[in-house]
Amino acid sequence: MAFNSIIELSHDLVYRLGGDKYQGFIHVYLCWKRVVGDLLSSRSHPIKLENHILYVGVQNNTWMQELLLLKQDIISKYKTLHQEEIAEIIFLISSPKRKCTKRK
């Protein structure tokens, strides 16, 4: 009997819940850290994927400039890793991802 890791099971569940409509975005979201690295992924996050255009929320102007300089590298690395096409990336200033906190 083969056991799947919890990460694999949670990814499968997310893909099933998202359905076909959001499968591309879910894929980008789950692999964002691997594509841009730890530092940039902690300062940015994918917001949506529409018509092969990826919208990415960035913490501030400084990180936006850094990502703009790396945009073509990000697109080509994503295509190399996943054989999927992202035609363009649009960066937007966005509040950081909220972390769940326990209410008292």
Give a yes or no: residue 87 inside a domain: yes
The type of residue at 29 is Y
Assign 75 a pLDDT band (cuts: 50, 70, 90): very high
Give a yes or no: residue 98 inside a domain: no
- Give me the number of domains the chain comprises: 1
pLDDT higher than 80, residue 15: no
The type of residue at 9 is L
CATH of the domain at 47: 3.30.300
Residue 100's pLDDT is 47
Give a yes or no: residue 56 inside a domain: yes
Q: Which of 95, 34, 26 shows the shortest CA–CA distance to 54? A: 26
Domain holding 34, by residue range, is 7-93
Residue 99's pLDDT is 52
Assign 77 a pLDDT band (cuts: 50, 70, 90): very high
pLDDT higher than 90, residue 47: yes
Give a yes or no: residue 104 inside a domain: no
